[in-house]
Amino acid sequence: MKRPWDAIAWWEIRRIPFNLLVLAIGLVSGSIVAFAGSRLFGPDANLGNPFIGIMLYGLAANFCYTLGWITELLWGWGDTAQTESIRPKVFRVGLVFSASLTLLPAIAIPLIWAIQRHR
């Protein structure tokens, strides 16, 4: 039987790389949204300061990340030997989901802009 701290340590060691990857994708996504948004709404449009939204998104992403090790402990009833083999797959699926969700505005806003341009 492995201790619960083994799972927590495994997840927490990967939190910083997870955050850095989501941040990098967020910067790319934000740049694309800013560019397409200025074309869609005009260069003088005041779309507000996105800082609070970005902070809330980051907090939500980290809350969901924490659910990774919490749910692992619940699945294995604290015995992480039972869940150790699926841990990397759960991490990858969560990472792909987080990256996709972060990139979604960069796909949606330019698509809306393109549709609006051709009307």
Tens-digit pLDDT profile for residues 46-67: 767 778 888 899 999 999 999 9
Q: How far apart are CA 76 and CA 56, in angstroms?
A: 31
As a whole number, the mean pLDDT across the chain is: 89
Structure token digits, residue 85: 């083999």
> Is the pLDDT confidence value at 38 over 90?
no
Return the residue matching tokens 């790389």: 17
Query: Does residue 95 contact residue 89 with C-beta atoms inside 8 Å?
Result: no
Question: Where do the domains of the chain lie?
Answer: 4-117
Q: How confident is the model at residue 1 (pLDDT cuts 50, 70, 90)?
A: low
Give the predicted TM-score (pTM) of the model.
Answer: 0.82
Q: Which of 1-4's residues contact partners 24+ apart within 8 Å by CB, and which partners?
A: 1/79, 1/81, 2/79, 2/80, 2/81, 2/84, 3/80, 4/73, 4/78, 4/80
Count of CB atoms situated within 10 Å of the CB of 19? 16
Q: How confident is the model at residue 97 (pLDDT cuts 50, 70, 90)?
A: very high
> Is the pLDDT confidence value at 2 over 80?
no
